[in-house]
Amino acid sequence: MDFLYETHMHTSEASGCAVSSAAQQVADYKKRGYTGLIITDHFINGNTSIRRKFPWDKTMKLFMNGYIEAKKAGVKYDMDVFLGWEFTIRGADILTYGLDLDFLLANPGLDKLGFEDYSEIVRKNGGYLAQAHPYRNAYYIEHNYPVAAHLLDGVEVYNAMDSKEENEKALAFAQEHELPMQAGTDSHRAGGYNYSGIKLDKKAESIGDIIEAIKTGNVTLINHR
C-alpha cells in the first residue's frame, strides 16, 4: 500500500495568494487519494493574508488559522495534517518543518532574520529546511537561485508549478551537493490538474517520520498525479 503526502500547499486563511480554504484543500486531496498534507502557508515575511498590525503573539496565532482549520477538516476526512510554513527572504522560499506555535511565540522578530540566522535557529530547535522552487523565474523573486547548500537540509527538486528547466536545475543542485530531495504541488487552489508530493511505503505518524523519510531517501517523488 502506498501513502501519499503533499509537502507544499497553501490555504486562503493565511496565504494571500491562495484561493481555496483549508477545508476545501483537504477535501480535494482526500478525493485524490492522499494520506496527509503539510500545510506550508506563507510566513508573515512573504505573501501572507495576516494583517501585521497586531503584537507578535496574536499575529502568530492568526497565522496558525490555516493549519487549525485544516486539522479540523482532517478529522472529518480522515486525513493526516502536519504543520509547516514557507519562510521568505528576498523572494527565496524556504519550507520549514518540525516546529510548532511554541517556537514561533518564543522568537519574536523571526521574520526579520537572514538566511544564516534563520537556518541556525531552526536547526538548533530541531527543525528541517528545504528550499522550494530554487530556480523559479518570476518578477517577484529577487533571489531566484539556491541559498548556500550548508544552510539547507533538503531541496524541492520538483515543483508542479515550475517549468521543466527550473525543476531540472533544482535536481542538479541537489545532486551536486548531495542534499535530500522532495517534490510538492505548491497548491493554492483546490481542483488543480497537476498534483505532486511524496510517496511513502508506510504511514507517517508524525512530521518527524516524513522528515526522516526525506533525509534517508526513503521516498518516491510524485511528478504528476
Q: What is the pLDDT of residues 94-110, one digit of tens each?
A: 999 999 999 999 999 99
pLDDT bracket for residue 51 (50, 70, 90): confident
The pLDDT score that the predictor gives to residue 103 is: 98
pLDDT at 196 over 70: yes
pLDDT at 142 over 90: no
What distances in angstroms separate CA 196 from CA 6, 33, 57, one per listed residue?
Answer: 7, 12, 33
Q: What are phi and psi of 171, to 5 degrees?
A: -60, -45
pLDDT at 224 over 80: no
CATH (domain of 54): 3.20.20.140
| Cα 159 from Cα 133, distance rounded (Å) | 6
Angle at 181 between CA 186 and CA 149, to 5 degrees: 100
Is the model more confident about 175 or about 192?
Answer: 175
| Cα 201 from Cα 5, distance rounded (Å) | 11
The pLDDT score that the predictor gives to residue 1 is: 79
Q: Which has the minimum average pLDDT: 19-23, 44-48, 67-71, 183-187?
A: 44-48
Contact 157, 174 (CB under 8 A): yes
Residue 48 is given by DSSP the state B
pLDDT at 159 over 80: yes
Q: What are phi and psi of 12, to 5 degrees?
A: -70, -15
Question: Total structural domains in the chain?
Answer: 1
Q: What are phi and psi of 210, to 5 degrees?
A: -70, -45
The pLDDT score that the predictor gives to residue 225 is: 59
**Helix pair 65-77, 22-31: axis angle to 10 deg:** 40
Q: Give residue for cell 518570476.
A: 138
Q: Which domain holds residue 176?
A: 3-222
Of 119, 188, 187, nearest in space to 154 by CA = 119
pLDDT at 61 over 90: yes
| Cα 192 from Cα 206, distance rounded (Å) | 27
pLDDT at 59 over 70: yes
